[in-house]
Every structure is written in structure tokens, then in C-alpha cells.
Chain A
Amino acid sequence: MAEEEPLTSSEYVYDLATYLLTSARGCIEEPLLYGPLRLIEALSRLVTISQYAPCVKKDEFLIAAKRKIDQNKYVVMQSEEEFTKFLDSLIKEFTVELKRRNKLD
């Protein structure tokens, strides 16, 4: 199979836009928990922006977060409690990192 051509920055933005738009429409009828799933998936896709927009620096923390999201997102279909725990643990990591980036103890 031929290699797929990499997306241009415009294609990347358009793809993300259509993902967000169709997710918004889907959330009207889909299970409540799919809303958080769509948002966390959007975060995962957003992290790849540095591949398409050279002005955005690669962020190792976000890349690691993307890996965790991609490994854990399917938990939503098994257990709301475990999915919530995963989101909370990710939020804690983001907050610790936020403090570090802002030089707060």
C-alpha cells in the first residue's frame, strides 16, 4: 500500500474542525459519557499540532499525555468510575505541570 501523504496544516485544522462539529452533533443523541470521550480524543488530536504547524513547539509533556489518553480512552465503555479516575489523575498531572511551568510550589 502506498504511503499516505502527510497532512498539511490547513488539512489538519479542517480535520479537527469537522471532528469537533460532528462530535457536537453526535452528543445530542449519544450517551452522556461520550461527551467527555470526544473532548479527551480532541485533546489527543490537538497534541499532534506541532507536526503540522512548525511554529508550535513539540511539547513532551503533552505527547506523554496523548499516549496515556490513547491507552485509556476505551475505559469509558467499561466503567464510568475508572474513566473518571483516569481523567482526575490526568488533571492532577496537568495541574502539577502547570504549577511547575509557573514556578509555583
Chain B
Amino acid sequence: MELFEALRNRRAVRDFTEQAIPDDVLMKLAYAARRAPTGGNTPYRRILVVNDRKTIRLIRQVSPGILGQPTALIVIFTDLEVTRELGKLGNLCATIDAGAAAENVALAATDLHLGACFTKSYSEAGVKEILNIPDGYRTEVMLQLGYPRMEQPKSMRPRKGADATYLNRFGRS
């Protein structure tokens, strides 16, 4: 799939079939996440792939934003100690870069005929406890993953003002 086709086809997919994602496909998604940049090439980003059914079920229980039944999750999180290398900007850059990694995963998922959805509505304390993520790390975003059910919600209509794009000066196009 061409990049622009993936950009056009990407959706927030929340309903999945029970079909498991093969390990090699999950590793491709993790690779896509790793290909995203980090500020100053600072190694603060961590990626955790979850495909254990029981663990996913537990995470779902502390994640009100998971409304369907994903068969895998990718959690992108940050080593807060390492962000200090970038000074005060490190904290913000880590979040921005997690978003870049997550979008890479979403586009790769589209290319691989998988569905993906960014999730932030989860309990930080609960997810860290289930995944044994120690203090000193902050989760940034979680991706729900799976094979989409045939009947997907339609593409969201862009809301008024969304992605207003200007040329050279604010307000000009």
C-alpha cells in the first residue's frame, strides 16, 4: 500500500474479530514504532507489546477507553530519567515523539490490514501495575490492535475548524 493510500484509509478502529495477530506482524508494528524520531536522538522511548489474552483482559478492565476486544496492545512509554538529557523540553518531546511512534504503528497497521485505535482513557496506575512498569516511567499512549470487523463505524466527519491550514500567514490560504 502506498503511504498516501494508508493515510487516506486510516481509521480509529475499535471493534475487532477474535483472530490473533501473528507474532511476526506484531514485531513489524513494533519496528514501525521504533522508526519514529526522538528529540535529539535521546533514548527515552519504550515500547511494550502485549498479546497475552489474559493480560489484555485485565488491561481492558482498567481502561474505560477500550470498548471492543483488541487482540493485541502496544503501550508506548517514557523513561523520565532519560528525558532530563533534553532539559525541560524532554518531558514534552517524549510525549510528542510517542505520538509520532503511535501514528507510525497506526499507518503500518493499515498497511497490514489491521485496525488500530489510539487510547488514552485508561488508568495509569492500573496499567502500570498490570504490566510491572516501575516508577520513573510514564505511559504516553496505548494502541488497541486487531483485525477489524467487517462493519466498521463510518469515517468521522471532521469537526468545524479541524486542521485549518494556512499558507505563509495565519488566516491565509
| Chain A interface residues toward B at CB < 8 A | 1, 4, 14-15, 18-19, 22-23, 25-26, 30, 34, 38, 41, 73-74, 77-78
Contacts and interface: CB of A to CB of B under 8 A. Distances in A.
Contacts of A4: 53, 57
Contacts of A22: 61-64, 122-123, 126
Interface of B: 14, 18-20, 53, 57, 61-65, 67, 71, 121-123, 126, 153, 156-157, 159
Contact of B153 (A25, A30, A41, A74): A74
15 contacts: A1-B19, A1-B53, A1-B71, A15-B61, A18-B126, A22-B63, A22-B126, A25-B123, A26-B65, A26-B123, A30-B121, A38-B64, A41-B67, A78-B156, A78-B157
Contacts of A15: 61
Given A1-B19, A19-B64, A34 B121 contact: yes
A23 B122 CA distance: 8
A45 B123 CA distance: 19
